[in-house]
Structure formats: C-alpha cells, structure tokens
Structure 1
Amino acid sequence: MLEALAGTGLAAAAGLNAYIPLLALGLAGRFVDVVQLPIGWAWLSNEWVLVGLGVLLVIEFVADKVPAVDTVNDWIQTLVRPASGGIVFGGGALTETAVVTDPAEFFESNQWVPIVTGVAVALAVHLAKMALRAVANTLTFGAAAPVLSTVEDIGSVSLSVFALLFPLLVVVVLAALVVALVLVFRRLRRRRAERAVAPA
C-alpha cells in the first residue's frame, strides 16, 4: 500500500516535471538509507546520471517559464513525462523489476504493471496540465506561463518529497492539487465568459 502511494506520488510529480522526481529518487537512493532502489533502478543514483538530470532540470525550468516556448516544451514532454512516470513508479514502488534480458519473462511476471501504471498516471497529469496551460496562456497572452510553471514545480517537489518520506500524505497533496486545478479552471472559464460578454 505505501509502495503504491509512493509510486503514484512520484508518477504524478513526473506529470508536472519529468526531472524533479527522477532526481529526487536518485538522490534519495544515493544519500538516504531509508530509500533502497531496486537493482534495475540503481543507475538512477549514479553521479553522472544525477548531473545529467540536474542539467535537464535547469533547461526544463527555464523553458517552461517562457511563453510560446512552454507550449513547444509541453509537446516534447508528452513523451518524456510519461516515461519518467513509469521509471519513478517502478523505482518508488520498490518493484523487483530487474534488467530486462528476457521480455517474455518480464511480461509473464507482471513486472511491467508498475511501469505502465506510472506511465498512465504521469500522462493523465501531463495532459491536464497541458490543457490548463493552453487556456491560461490564451487568456493572459502568455503572462500566466511563469506563474503556473512555478506552481507546477512546487507541486512536483512537494509530491516527490512526500512520496519518498511520507507516502500517506500523497493522497492529501494529490487532493489539494485536484482542488487547485478545478478552482483555477473555473476562474479561467469565468474570465473567458466575461471577455466574451465585454464587447457586447
């Protein structure tokens, strides 16, 4: 149960920012005794992988805050974030998945289930984020991009930390994010309706 919550939290975080949960999981596996990465995910704690993830995180951090560039980045991340979600769910859920040497055995043993679950969770969060960002950018002429991006980064960091250290709180954080998403979406819809009425 706790493993599934940890994996879900990390995958949801990956839907907001692909590199934050990967980096968090890798750093935790390297420096925190409580987190033991499965053998198949030990590479995440390699120093070169951590440096690479750090560089990618900086690029993502900047690109996601620039209007228009953030839209292009979101399209590119449609492949990256779900892949990240699969990796972190697999590692965060402490699955016994090892390096895949025999694909038939991999599928027969159901080792693919956590990975596919992580992909699905991250993709769902990413698509919701992408839809919200498109509406917000249209209504604010891109001014909302840096604000929303910062909120998403904070959400990704929070989910990653809670998933690794306090998995039970993942439910609370996810619920808060859903409520925030609904409130922002309603506000944007109201603003769009006001704009449509204004010329008349």
Structure 2
Amino acid sequence: MDEYQQLISVISLTMGVAWASGLNLYAAILVLGLGGSVGGIDLPESLAVVQDPAVILAAGLMYAVEFFADKIPGVDTGWDALHTFIRIPAGALLAANTVGDVSPALQLAAGIVGGSVTSVTHAAKASTRMLINTSPEPVSNWLASISEDVAVFGGLWVALNHPVLFLIGFIAFLLLLIWLLPKLWRGIARIFRKIGQWLGLSKETNAALAGAGEATSELAKPSSLVDALQGLDSLHQSGALSDAEYATAKASVIAEHTSASAR
C-alpha cells in the first residue's frame, strides 16, 4: 500500500509540475523552491536544485516581471509567444527530475509526457489570452492572469497534499482541453483573417471567396449540393468563414438548389 501511495504521489507531482509550468513556469519553480527550502516539501534529490537561493532569486525576479507583463493586453500575447520556447522544455525537464532516482528510460518517459502536458497547457493559456485581447477593456486580462497564478499555487498544493484529488481534476482538465482547444484555434484563425483583411493582406483569399461565390449556382445543382455544403463546412471549420458568413453562404446554396430543382 505504501508503494502504491508513493507511486500516486510521484505521478501527481510530475503532472502537477508539468501542468503548472504551462501556466506560469516561474511561479511553479518558486513554489517548489521555497517549499523545499523551508522543509514543507520533500523534493527528490534530482529536483533539489530549485531550492538553491540563486534559483529562487532568479525565479522570483522573473515572476515579478511576468506578474506585470501578463496583465497588459497585447504584451501578454507577446510574452506567451516568447515563452513557447521556455516553458515547454523547462516543464519537460522539471517533470523528468520529479521521478527521483530511477532508470534513464523512466526519466525520459516522464520528460516526454511532462513536456506534452506543458505544451497543451501553454497552448490553452496563450490561445485564451489572444481571444481575451479582442476585448478593449483590460479587466479581463487582469482576472485571467490572477486566476492563473492562484491556480498554479493552489494546484501544486493539492498535487502535493491530495494527489488522488489532483489527478482526478487533472483528467477532467485534459478532457476539457480536448473539447476546448479546437474551438479556440478556430477563433484565432478568424482573428488572423480579420487582421489580414484590415491590413489588405488577404486579397487572394477574398478573390478566392468571390470566385467561390460566382460558382455557387453551379455547385447548387442537385448532384453537387452535398459537395457544396461539405466545402462550405470545411471553410467554416478551418476559420476561413465566420459563423455569419457560413450561415449566409449555406442559405444561398440551398436557395439556389431549391430554385434549380423547381425549374
């Protein structure tokens, strides 16, 4: 039973560190470093380096910088883009070192899984922030940033003290991401398309859509209706058509098909 509980605790710490690193790497290192240095957390020897005063000081300094950068609309997105190259490898490294004195193969496996968890968490954070930045007010950015910080501190505390409860919540989080990430990415695709239209960079796309509109009558023939609707759905799913544009185009295709059938 003790070995089983120890295994659950290790898995919880590994996934907790990887998950927290995707939200706020420096906060995660601070929690581990400060907790380990005061004796509140029993860290594996391979992870004891985070208890070093120099590491704690560096993490504290960078956390202070991120605390403010993460609350400024636009700056937070740039910060997230830069940290794509920092959070993911750091999360993988931390996860690999949480498993303690084991074989290199197990450490590598923990690093691979941990890096994957960090990457999807970081993707969800960055995508959500980009969508939030479409709102002109800064309050939503502050609320999102503060919520993420609280989630990191609270989530790691639960991972360390109630590993089974954390793992249940972690699985629920992964299921939520499977449902949420495609929706976030479609929203971001629409944002980039709108930006391209504002900057005059999407003339080729507009021309292609205009050509598609001119071919609507042909596509709307009875034999081509299903193909036309499938084509429109593909454009909608990829973000090339907004919800409103998709609804308008779909109605036009169906109307043309009805008219052609009546003739």
Query: Do they fold alike, i.e. is TM over 0.5?
Result: yes
Q: In 1, distance between residues paired with 2:61 and 2:161?
A: 25
**Structure 1 runs not aligned, ≥5 long:** 98-105
Q: Aligned equivalents of 1:176 and 1:46: distance in 2?
A: 34
Residue 17 of structure 1: aligned partner: 24
Q: Encode CA deviations 1:19-69: one digit per residue, 9 max, x unaligned.
A: 11111112222222651322x322211111111111111111111011111
TM-score (norm 2): 0.59
Instruction: Compare 75-84 and 140-149 and name the one that shifted more.
Output: 140-149
Structure 2: tracts of 5 or more residues without a match? 1-6, 192-242, 245-263
1:177–1:151 distance in 2 versus 1, CA, 3 Å = farther
Distance 1:90 1:47, change over 3 A: same
Name the TM-score, length of structure 1 as normaliser: 0.76
State how far apart, in whole Å, the 1-side matches of 2:122 and 2:43 are: 27
Max Rg structure: 2
Q: What percent of counterpart residues are identical? A: 27
CA contact 1:13–1:159 (8 Å) conserved in 2: yes
Alpha-carbon distance in 2 for matches of 1:28, 1:56: 18
**Displacement over 6 Å in runs of 4+:** 178-183
Q: Distance in 2 between matches of 1:35 and 1:124?
A: 28
Alignment: residue pair count: 181
- Partners of 2:88 and 2:163 lie apart in 1 by 21
1:129 positional shift? 1.3
CA RMSD of aligned residues (A): 3.1
| Residue 142 of structure 1: how far off its partner (Å) | 5.4
**Structure 2 CA distance, aligned partners of 1:177 and 1:111?**
24
Partner SS state of residue 133, structure 2: helix
Maintained 8 Å contact 2:73/2:141: yes
- Give the 5 Å matches for 1:28-177: 28-32=35-39, 34-38=41-45, 40-92=46-98, 94-96=99-101, 109-138=105-134, 140-141=135-136, 143=138, 144-174=140-170
